[in-house]
Structures are given as structure tokens and as C-alpha cells.
Amino acid sequence: MWPVLFKLGPFEVRFYGLMYVVAIVVGSLLIRKEVKRKAIGLKEEEVMDFVLWAVVGGIVGARLYYVLFNWQYYLSVPLEIPAIWHGGLAIHGGIIGGLMVAYIYLRRKNIPFWKMADAVAPAIILGQAFGRFGNFMNGDAHGVPTTLPWGVVFPPDSIAGREFPGIPIHPTMLYEMVLNLCIFTVLWFVLRKREHKEGFIFATYLVLYSAGRFFVEAFRADSLMLGPFRAAQLVSLALMIVASTIIWKRRLWTKKK
């Protein structure tokens, strides 16, 4: 593992943060390409504004989601709430926060939301893949102990290593990274090249990611809990049902008339 990329005096650049930067840069390039191909109507500088606002909304949403599920702890140390550098970001909260900000931005620009959602869906899932690799290098978002040959023993100074010292565990962050890359391949190299109604690519992203996350979450050791249930599984199940229903009722896979 390599959580800290390098240090400059008292400052340190972490690998996880680098993955965020890579995700934003690569995602911006993909979105610009799709905006131009789909003739959506945003200028290049507006695309960058959109990406940056959506990223800010995503980070705030991811943090608030995590804090709400750990409210008793943060109630005792409220100054830790904004300390995202100490860890504590939840992807489902990030998706919700990013979508809310994106919707407001696009509405002000009179840009069709679902058309833009299709353009950004591949970039979102690819960014999530980069993020999971950052989790692996950081030693968090980890799994439970396993006897399988690909179990990973994390360093004792990592989050996973402190919880399971010297014990092989499921590298759930790598499971999800591979899953996300597979979904990106389907969205970018298959679906975007076919004709369909607006919203199909984004809804498919929600279905595929939620199904994969539901499965991977069963092996996580650090799940956020809602009573006796894993919150991520409940949210994933809800997203699968809603997105699948929308796809079916609106026949999103069919060509737009």
C-alpha cells in the first residue's frame, strides 16, 4: 500500500487525493467529448464549471451522508464534521449531492437533464473506479477476513490493517474497481454508440452499479448500518427498482421518435 504519494515539508499528497484529481481530469475530457458529440449546447468553459460544481456537490453530499450515519460520534466532536481528510465519504451520498447540484446548474442553463446525464454517466463510473483504486492504496473500504488465495494482508498502519492485523481480507475495493471498469466498458463502448431515448445510459448505470454494489457490500467490513441492515444494500436495492421501473415504463432502450 502507498497512502502517501510524497511530502513537501509539513504537507503531504495522498494517493487517494491524486485519484480524485485523475478522475476529475479524465472525466472532464470524456464529458467534453460527449457534450460536443451530442450537441448539448454547453461551451467548454461551461462544461468545466458544470464538472467542478458537480464535484463539490458530490463531496459535500458524500460527507453529509457519512456523518448522518455516524451522528453520535460527530455530535461529540463537531469540529471533525468538515475534516474529510480524516476519511468518511459515502458514494451514495456523493451521487445524490452531485445530481442535485447538476440539476440546478443545467436548469439554469436550459440544458435537458437526461441528455446530459447520459453524457456524464460513463465518466462517473470511471471516476468511481479510480476512487476505489485510491481506497486500495489507502487501505480502507475493506472487506472481512477470507481464506481465498487472493486475500490481502494490509499494512498494520492502514485502517484495514489495524482492524485485521496480519489477517488476509477480501480486497472489496478491487472487486468494485473491476466491476466499475466493466460497467464503463458497457456504457462507453456499447450503449453510447446505439440510438435510444434520453436517460437510458444513466438509468442503466444506476442498475448495473447498484446490482454490483449490493453483491460487493456483503463482503465489506466497514459498512454503514441502518438498524440490522447494510445501508448501501438498501439504497442499491431501491435504486435498482426505481431505475429498472423507469427503463421499462418509458421503454428507454427504444429509439427516440
What are the residue ranges spanned by the domains of the chain?
Answer: 10-250
pLDDT at site 5: 76
Dist CA 51 CA 98 (whole Å): 9
Higher local confidence (pLDDT), 140 or 14:
140
Q: Picking from 8-12, 150-154, 208-212, which range would have the lowest pLDDT averaged per residue? A: 8-12
Phi/psi for 6 (5° steps) reads -165, 165
pLDDT at site 8: 77
| Average pLDDT over the chain, rounded to an integer | 94
pLDDT at site 4: 79
pLDDT at site 17: 85
Q: Work out the end-to-end distance of the chain between its first and last CA atoms, rounded to an integer number of angstroms.
A: 52
Eight-state DSSP code of residue 193: G
Higher local confidence (pLDDT), 3 or 114:
114
CA neighbor of 235 nearest in space, from 245, 220, 224, 251: 224
pLDDT at 15 over 90: no
pLDDT tens track for 28-72: 999 999 999 999 999 999 999 999 999 999 999 999 999 999 998
Contact 130, 23 (CB under 8 A): yes
